[in-house]
C-alpha cells in the first residue's frame, strides 16, 4: 500500500513539468494557434518564408501579424468589457469608423480629398481618440449607470455609429493622400516591419502594465463575478464598468486610426465592418468566459492572431472569401470544443483510467 | 404638403396637382449609402425631385435590406404617392409588393439594378447601367491595348465585387467571356467586397501565389486603390510602363485621378446620375405618354493615354476618353 | 394571516409600460402623419405583414434568451432557408410542400447541432451560434452566388394570396380599398399563440424559465437542464426555419446577402419586450410588442421621408435608445418604490 | 440488508483536485429515523449528500436502496428524485425569477388536459405555505422573499414530494427558534410515516432534540455511527474535532471587566430610517462594546445595519462617527471611516465565487487602499496565510477558488476579509451561520478579544444563546422599530424572549 503511494508520487514527479505546462490557461489557445499555422506546412509550403523585399519584410506570416493588429487592439478592450460587465460591446466596429471619419475630416479640413494636412496630424488623431472615448463613455453610461444589458446598450451605437461617421464625412469617402498619414498603417521610415504590429504590441503592453501595476485587473474580475458583493467590499462597480467601456472605446479609436491609415481614407461603411464579431470570437478563443469574471488578456491576443492566421491561411489556400465562413465556423467549433469543460473532463477521465489501469498493473507486479 | 385630396379625380391627379402649384409626390426607396456612387445617386434624385422643381420626395433608405424596401413600398402605397422609384437591393423577389403597387395604380420606376419579375407590366420603366456591357467594354479596351502594345501573354486576376451584387455578376461575366474569347490567362478570382482594405488584402495574397500577374481587373475604384498599394508594397510597379496594369470601374473622382497618371490604366464609367432620366419618364407619363421600358444611362470609358481611341462592342462603337485634368474638373461627381 | 397581495410584480409592470409606450408612440404617429396615411388600418396590418418572419424568429430567440442563451445564427439560417427553398424549387423541381419540409429540416438540424453543443458540450451559446452564423452564410454562397427568383406557381399563390378583411379606407380617389393580410400573418400569429401557451402552461416552458433564473438551482431541483436546453435550441431552430420560410414568402427569392442583421432585430425586439439577456425573464407577448415597436419606428421614419441615409440610422437608434432608457428609468423607479 | 434499512452507502470515496473530500465512507439510513450527519466545516457532509443525489459523481463505492438488489447510481438530482430521495441543499437552491408557487411545484406541476393548472398550483401552494406557517403569498416572486423564508420554502418543497429519503443540509442555519420548532414538528411527522431523514446541522442541541442516530465524519473519513443516547454531547464534540473540547466554556466571564471603563461612542445614529422597512432609529455604539441586535425574522436587523453601512441609502437621520458627522453614500465611504460589514447572505453578497481564497481575503483591503496602490504579491500571500491559519480555513491552497470550499469555510474567508481591513467598527450579520461549533466558539472569542482591543462590534444572530455569550448590550427590534435595549442582569434567555415578544409576552408576535 505504501509502496504504491510512493510509486504514484514518483510518477507524478516525472510528469510534473508537462503538467505544469498543460495546466496553464494559455496552453490550449497557443496549441490552437500553432495547429492553425501548421496546416500551412502541408498546404502552402511557402507560408513561413519571410524575405526582405524592397526594404520591408514580406511573407504570409508578416501578413498575419500585420493584418491582425486592429483585431488585437479591439480584443484587448473587448476582454476588459466582457470581464467587467459580462457582456460584449458590439459597437467597436462602428466606433472605428467614427474615429477614422473624425481624423480624416479634420486632416482634410472638410474636403473630400486632400494632398496636404489642413490641420496638424496630432490634433486630428487626438480628436479621433477622444471622440471614440466618448462613444465608449456613452456605452459605459448606459451599461454601468442605467443597468442596460451590454449587447443592447451597444446596439444603439452599432446602428448609429456608421450613420454618425457618414454624417461627418457627408456620405463620401474622405481621402488623405499624404504620406505622413500612411505611416500608421504602413511603414515607419526605413523600418522593415509594418507599423501596425508595433501599435498593437504597444497597446497590449500598456494595458498589461496598467493591469499589473494597479489593482484594476482584480477590481474588474471582482465586479464581473458579483457586482453586489463588490459594492459591499467598497468597489465602485459602476465606475469600474464605465471605465472598461471607455478604455474599449479608446482602443477601438486607435484601431480605427490604424485601419483608416491603411487605406489613407475614411470609409464610413467599411472600416471595422464585422470586426466586432471577430473581436468577441477572439476573446472566447482565448479561453475567456463571455459571462464575465476572470479573464486572460494574453489569451484574447492569441485568439485574435489565431483568427487572422485562419483567414490568411484560407486565402492562401484559394478559398473564396464568401465561402470562407464555412471553414471558419468548422475550425472555431473544433477549437472551442477542445477547450470546453466537458471535453477537458473527458480527457481527464481517460487519463485517470489509463493511470488507474497502469497502477493496477504495476501494483500487481510488485506484490 | 400632400393636400390635393380635393382636386383628386381620375388618373390625372398628379398632373392637375402640378399645374395648380401642388407637388408631384415621389416615393424613392434607395438601397443605402454604402458607397460614394450610391451617395451620388441619392443626391441626383434629391436634387432632381426637389420642391423647387415641383416635387415632394419621400426618401427611404433601406440600409441594404430588401425586406426594408418591401416595407417601404407598402408604406408608399398607403401614403398614396404618385410615383414609386425603386433602386432595388436585389433583382429578385418583387412580385408581391409590385403587384400591390399595381393594384393601387401607382407606376413604379426601377433604377440601377433590374428586377426579375414574372410579369413585366409590374413596373413601368427601368433606368440603369448595363454592367455586363461595362465589363465587355473594359475587356475590349484591354484587348485593343494589348494589341497596340504588343502584349502577347495576359495573366489577369479578378478582384470581384461583393458576391451576388449585379455589378459583380455583370462585370465578372464580361471578363470571363473575354478571357475565353481572347485566350487570356485568368489566374484567380476573389472578392474584394468593393472595399479598399479587402482589395488590398486579396491582392497581397494573390501576389504571393502568382508572380506573373500583369493585369488586375478590379471591379470598382476602391478595390483598385487597395490593389495598387499591395502591388507597390510587394515591390512591383503599376502603370503603362510598370509590371502590372490596373483596370477599374466606376470612375469616381478619386479613381479618375489615379487614371491621370496611369496607376489605373483604364476606368470604365458607371453613371450614378439617374435623377434626370427618371424625371423624363415621369414627365412622359404625366403627359399621358408611354416611356421606353428600358433606358440605359450613358456611360463612357476613360483611359490613360490615347493608345486605344475607340472600341467596338456588339457592333457599336464607343469612344475612349483620354483622361486629362480638364476631364476631371468637368465631371459632376 | 396569508393575504395574497395582488400586486404587480416588476416584470409585468415593465410589460405594461412597454405596451403603453407602444400605444402612445403609435397614436402620436397617427396624429402627426394623419395626412400621410399613418392612421389607416392597413398601415397597422403592414406591421404584421412585413414582420411575420421576424416575429416567428424572435419567438425562438426569446426562448433561448430566457435560458440565458442567445442565438445569433438566425439571420443566416433564414438566408440558408430562402436559398435552399429557392434552389430546390427553381433548379431541382421540388414542390412547394417539399420546400416547407426543407425549411423545417434545416431549422431542425441547426437546432439539434447548436443545442447539442450548447447543452451537452457546454460551449458558450454566443460562440456556437456565431459559428452557426458563419456556416449558414458560407453555405448559402456555396449553394449559389446568384440570386434565385422563385417562380413556382403554388409558392407564389401562397405568397400572393390576399385575405381581405371587412375593414378598409377610401383612397384619395374615392375608391374603397379593403384592408388585407397575407397567410404569413395568420401563421405567425398562430405560432405566437402556441409559443405563448407553451411558455406559460407546459413543464418545458417553466423549466426554461427556471434554468434561466438559476441553472444550478434548476439542476438541484431535479430538472433535466441539459435536455431542456437542447429542446429550447431545437425549438428555436425550428422556429428560425419556419420564420425563414415566412420571410421567403415575403421576399420570394434566395440570395447570399438576405436577412443580414435579422438576428440583431430579433434580439433587440425581445429585449424591448422585456427579455433579459441574462436569462430567466421575458415573455412572448413582450417580444410581440418589441417587434411591433421596432416595426413602427421604421415605419415612422419611412413615412417622414426626408432624412438622408445617415440620419435614418441615427434617428432609428436614437429612438431605440430613447425607448430603452425610458424603460430602464421606469424599472429603477419601480425598484426604489 | 437489514429489514428497515432504506439506504446504504459503502466505501464511498470522492476526490476533488487537491482535496480528498471523502475516503471510504460508509453510511446507513433506516426507515423512520432521523439521522444526524455531523462533522466540522469541510468534513465532507455536503459532499456525501451531493454524491448520493448525483450532483457529483463519486470515484468508488456502492449505493443501495431498499427493495433494489442492484447498486444504484444517481447521475443527477432528477434521478435521485425519481428514486425517492428529496433534498434541501445547504445553499438555498431555488429560482429567484419564479413565483413561490412555481418554486414549490416545478417539475411536478398539477396539470389539466396536459397544461399546467395554475389555479390548482397556487391553491395547493397556499395550503402548503399555510400548513408550514410561512408568511408569504404563493404568487410572490421568490427574490422578494427573505432568506429565511426562502429556506422554509425549500424545505416545504422537499417535504411535499413523496419521498422515502429526505435530506436536509443545514436547513436551520438561517432560521430562528420558532421556525426550527415548526420544522421539527414536521420532521417528526414524516418520521412517523416511515421516511428516513438525513439531517445536517451545527447546532448540537438540535441534534439532541430530534435525532435518533449520529454519523460523524472528520476530514472526509468516517469516525463512526452512534445512537444519540449513547453519545453525550462532550463526546460528540470530541469525535467531530478529534480532540477534547468544552464548547460550554463560559468565554464571556474571562473577558468580564476587561472592557474599557470609559464609554467613548464610535457610532451615534440618530433617526436613521429606510423606506418601508426601518422606522427612525437611534443607537449609540461605544468603543470596546459588542452590541447585539435581536428580533424575529424580518424584524429589520439586517436592514438597519445596511443603512448604517451605506449598503442601502438611509432615508433620514444623521450618523456620527467618532463624534463627527459623517456622510455615507456608499460602502466605501463607510469603510474609509473604519467600518466593516459582514453580510448575512454569503452567496449573494459575500463571496466572489471564481476568485481565489487569497483574492477574496484581500479584496476589501485592496479596495480601501485604492486602485493605484496595489498590494504586492507577498503582502497578499502573507495576509491570506495569516487568516487561513488564524481561522483554520480548510482549503487545498490559498489559490483555490472560494467556490470549491465548504460553506463554513467560505464564511471564514469572508470574516478574514473584514478583519484584514482592521476596522474600528465591525458589523457582523449572522457571522456564525453554518460554522461548526469549534470554530463558532473561536469566533466568539475573537469578537470579544477584538472588543477588548477597543473595536466596536455589532453582532446579529438568530441564536439568542450565542448573543448572550458575546454581547454586552442588546437592542431589540420588532417590525423595523427599536422597542428597547437590555443590559446586564436582564440579559438572560428569558429576558430577551420577553423583550422580543413584547412586554408581558401576551401579544406574541406571529410570524
Ligand atoms: N466543488 C468542489 N471543488 C473542490 N473542492 C470541493 C468542492 N466541494 C467541496 N470541496 C471540498 O471538499 C471538502 C468537503 O466539503 P463539504 O462541502 O462536503 O464540507 P461540509 O462538511 O459540508 O462542511 P460545512 O459544514 O462547512 O458545510 C472541503 O474541503 C471542500 O473544500
Ligand atoms: N430579499 C428581500 N426582498 C424583499 N424583502 C425583503 C428581503 N429581505 C428582507 N426583506 C424584508 O425586509 C424586512 C426586514 O428584513 P431584514 O432582513 O432586515 O430582517 P432581519 O431582522 O435581518 O431578519 P433575518 O433574520 O431574516 O435576516 C422584512 O419585512 C423582510 O420581509
Ligand atoms: Mg456543507
Ligand atoms: Mg437579517
User: Which residue has a Cα nearest atom 6 of ligand 1?
Assistant: D404
Interface test with A, best of B159, B205, B210, B242 (most A CBs within 10 A): B205
Residue of chain B minimizing CA distance to A172: B36
Residues paired with A58 in a beta bridge: A51
User: Which residue has a Cα nearest atom 22 of ligand 1?
Assistant: D46
Residue D479 pLDDT class (50, 70, 90 cuts):
confident
Please check whether residue A7 lies inside any domain of the structure: no
In this model, does residue D247 exceed pLDDT 70?
no
In 3D, which of D349, D269, D264, D278 has the Cα closest to residue D91?
D349
Residue D136 pLDDT class (50, 70, 90 cuts):
very high
Same domain, D170 and D276: no
**Please, are residues B206 and A315 in contact by the beta-carbon 8 Å criterion?**
no
Same domain, D224 and D334: no
b/e for D294-314, b at 16 or more Cβ within 10 A? bbbbbbbbbbbbbbbbbbbeb
In this model, does residue D285 exceed pLDDT 50?
yes
Query: What pLDDT sits at residue D250?
Result: 59
Kindly state if the Cβ of D148 falls inside 6 Å of ligand 2.
Answer: yes
- Determine, for residues D372 and A214 on separate chains, whether the beta-carbon distance falls below 8 Å: yes
Same domain, D382 and D505: no
Look at chain C and count its residues: 337
Query: What pLDDT sits at residue A26?
Result: 83
Please give the residue that has the higher pLDDT: either D69 or D6: D6
Question: Looking at chain A, which subunits does it touch, using at least 3 CB pairs closer than 8 Å as the criterion?
Answer: B, C, D
Query: What pLDDT sits at residue D433?
Result: 84
In this model, does residue A234 exceed pLDDT 70?
yes
Query: What pLDDT sits at residue D503?
Result: 52
Three-state secondary structure call for residue C287: helix
**Please, are residues C46 and B74 in contact by the beta-carbon 8 Å criterion?**
yes
Same domain, D509 and D443: yes
Query: What pLDDT sits at residue C168?
Result: 85
Question: Which among B33, B71, B96 is the nearest to C159, CB-wise?
Answer: B96
CB pairs under 8 A between A and D: 74
Please check whether residue A298 lies inside any domain of the structure: yes
D268 sits in which H/E element: strand D265-274
> What digits encode the pLDDT tens for the residues D382-436?
999 999 998 889 898 999 999 999 888 999 999 999 999 999 999 999 998 888 8
Chain C partners within 8 Å of A321 (Cβ): none
The number of the ligand 2 atom at minimal distance from the alpha carbon of D477 is 21
Three-state secondary structure call for residue A232: helix
Cα–Cα distances in angstroms (integers) from residue C230 to residues A262, A344, C115, C242, D201, in the given order: 45, 21, 4, 18, 38
User: Which residue has a Cα nearest atom 5 of ligand 2?
Assistant: D144
A311 sits in which H/E element: helix A297-316
- Determine, for residues C4 and D115 on separate chains, whether the beta-carbon distance falls below 8 Å: no
Please check whether residue D254 lies inside any domain of the structure: no
C222 in reach of chain D (CB within 8 A): yes
Give the number of the ligand closest to the Cα of residue D47.
1
**Please, are residues A293 and A225 in contact by the beta-carbon 8 Å criterion?**
yes
Same domain, D23 and D166: yes
Chain A partners within 8 Å of C120 (Cβ): 342
Kindly state if the Cβ of D299 falls inside 6 Å of ligand 2.
Answer: yes
In this model, does residue A11 exceed pLDDT 80?
no
**DSSP conformation class of C150:** -
Q: Which residue range(s) make up the domain with A191?
A: 27-350
Same domain, D416 and D430: no
Q: What's the number of domains chain A is made of?
A: 1
Query: What pLDDT sits at residue A8?
Result: 39
Same domain, D201 and D332: no
Kindly state the cell numbers that stand for A319.
478559398
Query: What pLDDT sits at residue A230?
Result: 96
Kindly state the cell numbers that stand for D226.
452512534
Please check whether residue A316 lies inside any domain of the structure: yes
| pTM attached to this predicted model | 0.91
Residue C250, C-beta contacts closer than 8 angstroms, at least 6 positions apart: B67, B70, B96, C49, C50, C52, C53, C159, C182, C184
Model ipTM value: 0.90
Query: What pLDDT sits at residue B163?
Result: 82
Please check whether residue A57 lies inside any domain of the structure: yes
Query: What pLDDT sits at residue C3?
Result: 40
Kindly state if the Cβ of D344 falls inside 6 Å of ligand 2.
Answer: yes
Distance in angstroms (rounded) separating the CA atoms of residues B218 and B224: 5
Query: What pLDDT sits at residue A14?
Result: 44
Please check whether residue D252 lies inside any domain of the structure: no
Kindly state if the Cβ of D404 falls inside 6 Å of ligand 1.
Answer: yes
Report the separation in Å between the CA atom of D42 and the middle of ligand 1, taken as the mean of its atom positions.
Answer: 5
- Determine, for residues B208 and A267 on separate chains, whether the beta-carbon distance falls below 8 Å: no
Please check whether residue D471 lies inside any domain of the structure: yes
Kindly state if the Cβ of D38 falls inside 6 Å of ligand 2.
Answer: no
In this model, does residue B13 exceed pLDDT 60?
no
Q: What is the CATH number of the domain that holds A285?
A: 1.10.3470
Distance in angstroms (rounded) separating the CA atoms of residues D199 and D217: 13
- Determine, for residues A318 and B209 on separate chains, whether the beta-carbon distance falls below 8 Å: yes
Chain B contacts in chain C segment 121-140 (CB below 8 A)? none
Chain C contacts in chain B segment 116-155 (CB below 8 A)? 116-118
Distance in angstroms (rounded) separating the CA atoms of residues B67 and C78: 12
Chain B partners within 8 Å of A270 (Cβ): 193, 195-198
What fold is seen in the domain C51-302+310-331?
ABC transporter involved in vitamin B12 uptake, BtuC (1.10.3470)
In this model, does residue D147 exceed pLDDT 60?
yes
Mean pLDDT estimate for chain D: 88
Chain C partners within 8 Å of D129 (Cβ): 2
Please check whether residue D344 lies inside any domain of the structure: no
Report the separation in Å between the CA atom of A60 and the middle of ligand 1, taken as the mean of its atom positions.
Answer: 52
In 3D, which of B102, B123, B106, B129 has the Cα closest to residue B27?
B106
Three-state secondary structure call for residue A176: strand
A141 in reach of chain C (CB within 8 A): no
Same domain, D354 and D474: no
Please give the residue that has the higher pLDDT: either D263 or B178: B178
Residue of chain A minimizing CA distance to B36: A172
> What digits encode the pLDDT tens for the residues B62-87?
988 999 999 999 999 999 999 999 99
Please check whether residue D113 lies inside any domain of the structure: yes
Kindly state the cell numbers that stand for D58.
463519486
Please check whether residue A5 lies inside any domain of the structure: no
Same domain, D225 and D372: no
- Determine, for residues C171 and B27 on separate chains, whether the beta-carbon distance falls below 8 Å: no
Same domain, D68 and D115: yes
In 3D, which of A178, A164, A108, A172 has the Cα closest to residue A132?
A164
User: Which residue has a Cα nearest atom 29 of ligand 1?
Assistant: D42
% pLDDT > 70, chain A = 91
Shortest Cα distance, chain D CAs vs residue C210, angstroms: 6
**Please, are residues D155 and D189 in contact by the beta-carbon 8 Å criterion?**
no
User: Which residue has a Cα nearest atom 31 of ligand 1?
Assistant: D405
Query: What is the phi-psi region of residue D216: left when phi exceeds 0, alpha when psi lies from -120 to 50, beta otherwise?
Result: beta
User: Torsion over CA of D416, D420, D424 and D429, rounded to 10 degrees?
Assistant: -20
Residue of chain C minimizing CA distance to A344: C121
**DSSP conformation class of D401:** B
Query: What pLDDT sits at residue B14?
Result: 41
User: Which residue has a Cα nearest atom 18 of ligand 1?
Assistant: D44
Same domain, D159 and D138: yes
Please give the residue that has the higher pLDDT: either C134 or A322: C134
Please check whether residue D256 lies inside any domain of the structure: no
Please check whether residue A359 lies inside any domain of the structure: no
Mean pLDDT estimate for chain B: 88
Domain ranges of chain C: 51-302+310-331
Mean pLDDT estimate for chain C: 91
Report the separation in Å between the CA atom of D407 and the middle of ligand 1, taken as the mean of its atom positions.
Answer: 7
- Determine, for residues A58 and B226 on separate chains, whether the beta-carbon distance falls below 8 Å: no
Burial class (CB in 10 A: 0-12, 13-18, 19+), A169: buried
Query: What pLDDT sits at residue A361?
Result: 64
Chain C partners within 8 Å of B3 (Cβ): 35
The residue written with cell numbers 442541541 in the block is: D205
User: Which residue has a Cα nearest atom 19 of ligand 2?
Assistant: D298
Query: What pLDDT sits at residue D263?
Result: 81
Question: Which among A225, A228, A234 is the nearest to D364, CB-wise?
Answer: A234
Q: What's the number of domains chain D is made of?
A: 3
Three-state secondary structure call for residue D93: coil
Amino acid at each position: 500500500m505504501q509502496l504504491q503511494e510512493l510509486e504514484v508520487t514518483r510518477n507524478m514527479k516525472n510528469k510534473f513539468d508537462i503538467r505544469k505546462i498543460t495546466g496553464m490557461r494559455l496552453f490550449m489557445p497557443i496549441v490552437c494557434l500553432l495547429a492553425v499555422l501548421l496546416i500551412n506546412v502541408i498546404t502552402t509550403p511557402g507560408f513561413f518564408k519571410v524575405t526582405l523585399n524592397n526594404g520591408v519584410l514580406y511573407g504570409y506570416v508578416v501578413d498575419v501579424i500585420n493584418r491582425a493588429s486592429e483585431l488585437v487592439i479591439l480584443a484587448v478592450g473587448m476582454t476588459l468589457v466582457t470581464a467587467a460587465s459580462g457582456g460584449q460591446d458590439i459597437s467597436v466596429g462602428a466606433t472605428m469608423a467614427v474615429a477614422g471619419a473624425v481624423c480624416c475630416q479634420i486632416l482634410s479640413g472638410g474636403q473630400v480629398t486632400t494632398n496636404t494636412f489642413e490641420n496638424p496630424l496630432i490634433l486630428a488623431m487626438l480628436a479621433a481618440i477622444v471622440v471614440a472615448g466618448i462613444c465608449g463613455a456613452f456605452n459605459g453610461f448606459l451599461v454601468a449607470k442605467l443597468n442596460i444589458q451590454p449587447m443592447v446598450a451597444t446596439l444603439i451605437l452599432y446602428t448609429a455609429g456608421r450613420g454618425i461617421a457618414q454624417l461627418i464625412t457627408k456620405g463620401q469617402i474622405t481621402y488623405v493622400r499624404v504620406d505622413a498619414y500612411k505611416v500608421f498603417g504602413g511603414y515607419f521610415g526605413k523600418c522593415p516591419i509594418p507599423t501596425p504590429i508595433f501599435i498593437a504590441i504597444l497597446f497590449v503592453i500598456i494595458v498589461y502594465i496598467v493591469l499589473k501595476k494597479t489593482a484594476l485587473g482584480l477590481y474588474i474580475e471582482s465586479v464581473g463575478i458579483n457586482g453586489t458583493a463588490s459594492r459591499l467590499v467598497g468597489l465602485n462597480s459602476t465606475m469600474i464598468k464605465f471605465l472598461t467601456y471607455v478604455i474599449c472605446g479608446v482602443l477601438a479609436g486607435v484601431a480605427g486610426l490604424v485601419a483608416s491609415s491603411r487605406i489613407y481614407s475614411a470609409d464610413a461603411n467599411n472600416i471595422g465592418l464585422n470586426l466586432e464579431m471577430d473581436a468577441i470570437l477572439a476573446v472566447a478563443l482565448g479561453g475567456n468566459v463571455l459571462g464575465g469574471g476572470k479573464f486572460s488578456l494574453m489569451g484574447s491576443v492569441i485568439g485574435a492572431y489565431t483568427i487572422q492566421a485562419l483567414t490568411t491561411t484560407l486565402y492562401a489556400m484559394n478559398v473564396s472569401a464568401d465561402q470562407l465562413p464555412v471553414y471558419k465556423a468548422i475550425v472555431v467549433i473544433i477549437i472551442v470544443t477542445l477547450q470546453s469543460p466537458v471535453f477537458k473532463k473527458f480527457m481527464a477521465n481517460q487519463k485517470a483510467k489509463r493511470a488507474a489501469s497502469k497502477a493496477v498493473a504495476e501494483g500487481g507486479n510488485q506484490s | 404638403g400632400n393636400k390635393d385630396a380635393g382636386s383628386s379625380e381620375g388618373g390625372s391627379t398628379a398632373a392637375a396637382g402640378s399645374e395648380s402649384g401642388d407637388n408631384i409626390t415621389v416615393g424613392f426607396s434607395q438601397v443605402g449609402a454604402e458607397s460614394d456612387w450610391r451617395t451620388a445617386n441619392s443626391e441626383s434624385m434629391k436634387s432632381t425631385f426637389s420642391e423647387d422643381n415641383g416635387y415632394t420626395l419621400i426618401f427611404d433608405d433601406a440600409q441594404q435590406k430588401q425586406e426594408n424596401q418591401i416595407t417601404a413600398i407598402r408604406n408608399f402605397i398607403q401614403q398614396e404617392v404618385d410615383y414609386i422609384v425603386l433602386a432595388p437591393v436585389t433583382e429578385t423577389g418583387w412580385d408581391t409588393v409590385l403587384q400591390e403597387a399595381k393594384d393601387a395604380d401607382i407606376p413604379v420606376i426601377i433604377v440601377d439594378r433590374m428586377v426579375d419579375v414574372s410579369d413585366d407590366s409590374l413596373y413601368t420603366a427601368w433606368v440603369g447601367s448595363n454592367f455586363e456591357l461595362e465589363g465587355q467594354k473594359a475587356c475590349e479596351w484591354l484587348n485593343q491595348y494589348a494589341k497596340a502594345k504588343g502584349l502577347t501573354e495576359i495573366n489577369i486576376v479578378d478582384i470581384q465585387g461583393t458576391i451576388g451584387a449585379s455589378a459583380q455578376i455583370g462585370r465578372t461575366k464580361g471578363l470571363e467571356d473575354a478571357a475565353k474569347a481572347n485566350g487570356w490567362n485568368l489566374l484567380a478570382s476573389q472578392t474584394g467586397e468593393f472595399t479598399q482594405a479587402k482589395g488590398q488584402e486579396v491582392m497581397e495574397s494573390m501576389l504571393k501565389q502568382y508572380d506573373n500577374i500583369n493585369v488586375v481587373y478590379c471591379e470598382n475604384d476602391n478595390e483598385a486603390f487597395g490593389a495598387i498599394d499591395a502591388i507597390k508594397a510587394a515591390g512591383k510597379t503599376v502603370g503603362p510602363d510598370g509590371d502590372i496594369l490596373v483596370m477599374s470601374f466606376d470612375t469616381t473622382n478619386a479613381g479618375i485621378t489615379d487614371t491621370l497618371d496611369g496607376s489605373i490604366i483604364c476606368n470604365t464609367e458607371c453613371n450614378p446620375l439617374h435623377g434626370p432620366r427618371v424625371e423624363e419618364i415621369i414627365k412622359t407619363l404625366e403627359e399621358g405618354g408611354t416611356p421606353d421600358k428600358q433606358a440605359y444611362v450613358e456611360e463612357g470609358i476613360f483611359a490613360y493615354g490615347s493608345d486605344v481611341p475607340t472600341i467596338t462592342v456588339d457592333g457599336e462603337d464607343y469612344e475612349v476618353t483620354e483622361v486629362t485634368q480638364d476631364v476631371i474638373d468637368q465631371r459632376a461627381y | 394571516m396569508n393575504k395574497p397581495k395582488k400586486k404587480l410584480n416588476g416584470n409585468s409592470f415593465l410589460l405594461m409600460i412597454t405596451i403603453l409606450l407602444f400605444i402612445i408612440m403609435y397614436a402620436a404617429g397617427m396624429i402627426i402623419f394623419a395626412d400621410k396615411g399613418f392612421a389607416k388600418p392597413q398601415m397597422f396590418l403592414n406591421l404584421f405583414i412585413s414582420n411575420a418572419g421576424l416575429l416567428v424568429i424572435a419567438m425562438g430567440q426569446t426562448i433561448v434568451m430566457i435560458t440565458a442563451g442567445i442565438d445569433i445564427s438566425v439571420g443566416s439560417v433564414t438566408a440558408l432557408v430562402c436559398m435552399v427553398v429557392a434552389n430546390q424549387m427553381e433548379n431541382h423541381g421540388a414542390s412547394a410542400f417539399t420546400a416547407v419540409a426543407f425549411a423545417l429540416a434545416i431549422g431542425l438540424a441547426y437546432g439539434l447541432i447548436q443545442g447539442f453543443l450548447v447543452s451537452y458540450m457546454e460551449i458558450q451559446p454566443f460562440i456556437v451560434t456565431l459559428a452557426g452564423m458563419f456556416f449558414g452564410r458560407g453555405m448559402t454562397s456555396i449553394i449559389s452566388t446568384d440570386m434565385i427568383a422563385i417562380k413556382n406557381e403554388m409558392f407564389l399563390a401562397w405568397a400572393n394570396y390576399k385575405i381581405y378583411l371587412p375593414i378598409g379606407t377610401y383612397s384619395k380617389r374615392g375608391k374603397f380599398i379593403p384592408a388585407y393580410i397575407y397567410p404569413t400573418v395568420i401563421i405567425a400569429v398562430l405560432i405566437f399563440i402556441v409559443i405563448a401557451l407553451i411558455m406559460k402552461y407546459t413543464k418545458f416552458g417553466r423549466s426554461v424559465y427556471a434554468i434561466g433564473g438559476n441553472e444550478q438551482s434548476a439542476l438541484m431541483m431535479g430538472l433535466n437542464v441539459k435536455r431542456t436546453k437542447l429542446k429550447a435550441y431545437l425549438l428555436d431552430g425550428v422556429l428560425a426555419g419556419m420564420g425563414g420560410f415566412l420571410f421567403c414568402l415575403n421576399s420570394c427569392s434566395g440570395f447570399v446577402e438576405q436577412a443580414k442583421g435579422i438576428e440583431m432585430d430579433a434580439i433587440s425586439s425581445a429585449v424591448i419586450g422585456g427579455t433579459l439577456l441574462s436569462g430567466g425573464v421575458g415573455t412572448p407577448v413582450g417580444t410581440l410588442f418589441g417587434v411591433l415597436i421596432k416595426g413602427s419606428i421604421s415605419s415612422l421614419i419611412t413615412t417622414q421621408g426626408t432624412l438622408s441615409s445617415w440620419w435614418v440610422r441615427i434617428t432609428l437608434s436614437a429612438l431605440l435608445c430613447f425607448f430603452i432608457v425610458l424603460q430602464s428609468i421606469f424599472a429603477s423607479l419601480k425598484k426604489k418604490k | 440488508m437489514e429489514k428497515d434499512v432504506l439506504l446504504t452507502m459503502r466505501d464511498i470515496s470522492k476526490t476533488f483536485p487537491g482535496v480528498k473530500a471523502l475516503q471510504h465512507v460508509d453510511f446507513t439510513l433506516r426507515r423512520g429515523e432521523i439521522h444526524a450527519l455531523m462533522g466540522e466545516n469541510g468534513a465532507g457532509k455536503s459532499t456525501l449528500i451531493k454524491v448520493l443525489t448525483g450532483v457529483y459523481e463519486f470515484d468508488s463505492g456502492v449505493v443501495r436502496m431498499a427493495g433494489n438488489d442492484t447498486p444504484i447510481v444517481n447521475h443527477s438530482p432528477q434521478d435521485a428524485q425519481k428514486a425517492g430521495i428529496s433534498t434541501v441543499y445547504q445553499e438555498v437552491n431555488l429560482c429567484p425569477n419564479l413565483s413561490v408557487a412555481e418554486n414549490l411545484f416545478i417539475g411536478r406541476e398539477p396539470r389539466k388536459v396536459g397544461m399546467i393548472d395554475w389555479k390548482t398550483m397556487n391553491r395547493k401552494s397556499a395550503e402548503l405555505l399555510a400548513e408550514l406557517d410561512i408568511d408569504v403569498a404563493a404568487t410572490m416572486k421568490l427574490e422578494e422573499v427573505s432568506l429565511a423564508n426562502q429556506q422554509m420554502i425549500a424545505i416545504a418543497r422537499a417535504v411535499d414530494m413523496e419521498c422515502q429519503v429526505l435530506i436536509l443540509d443545514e436547513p436551520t442555519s438561517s432560521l430562528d427558534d420558532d421556525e426550527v420548532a415548526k420544522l421539527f414538528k414536521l420532521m417528526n411527522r414524516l418520521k412517523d410515516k416511515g421516511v428516513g431523514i438525513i439531517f445536517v446541522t451545527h447546532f448540537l442541541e438540535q441534534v439532541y432534540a430530534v435525532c435518533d442516530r449520529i454519523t460523524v465524519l472528520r476530514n472526509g473519513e468516517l469516525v463512526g455511527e452512534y445512537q444519540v443516547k449513547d453519545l453525550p454531547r462532550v463526546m460528540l464534540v470530541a469525535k467531530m474535532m478529534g480532540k477534547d473540547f468544552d464548547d460550554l466554556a463560559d468565554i464571556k466571564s474571562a473577558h468580564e471587566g476587561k472592557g474599557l471603563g470609559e464609554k467613548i461612542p464610535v457610532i451615534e445614529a440618530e433617526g436613521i430610517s429606510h423606506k418601508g422597512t426601518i422606522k427612525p432609529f437611534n443607537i449609540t455604539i461605544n468603543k470596546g462594546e459588542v452590541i447585539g441586535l435581536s428580533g424575529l425574522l424580518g424584524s429589520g436587523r439586517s436592514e438597519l445595519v445596511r443603512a448604517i453601512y451605506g449598503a442601502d441609502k438611509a432615508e433620514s437621520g444623521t450618523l456620527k462617527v467618532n463624534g463627527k458627522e459623517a456622510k455615507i453614500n456608499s460602502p466605501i465611504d463607510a469603510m474609509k471611516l473604519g467600518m466593516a460589514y459582514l453580510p448575512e447572505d454569503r452567496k449573494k453578497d459575500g463571496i466572489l465565487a471564481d476568485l481565489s481564497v487569497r483574492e477574496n481575503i484581500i479584496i476589501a483591503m485592496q479596495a480601501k487602499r485604492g486602485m493605484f496602490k496595489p498590494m504586492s504579491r507577498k503582502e497578499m500571500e502573507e495576509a491570506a496565510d495569516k487568516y487561513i491559519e488564524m481561522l483554520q480555513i480548510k482549503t487545498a491552497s490559498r489559490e483555490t477558488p472560494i467556490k470549491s470550499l465548504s460553506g463554513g469555510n467560505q464564511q471564514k474567508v469572508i470574516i478574514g476579509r473584514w478583519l484584514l481591513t482592521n476596522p474600528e467598527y465591525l458589523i457582523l450579520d449572522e457571522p456564525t451561520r453554518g460554522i461548526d461549533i469549534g470554530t463558532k466558539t473561536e469566533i466568539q472569542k475573537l469578537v470579544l478579544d477584538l472588543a477588548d482591543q477597543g473595536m466596536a462590534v455589532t453582532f446579529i444572530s438568530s441564536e439568542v444563546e450565542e448573543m448572550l455569550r458575546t454581547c454586552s448590550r442588546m437592542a431589540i427590534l420588532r417590525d423595523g422599530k427599536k422597542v428597547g435595549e437590555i443590559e446586564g442582569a436582564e440579559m438572560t434567555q428569558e429576558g430577551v424572549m420577553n423583550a422580543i415578544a413584547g412586554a408581558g409576552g401576551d401579544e406574541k408576535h406571529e410570524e
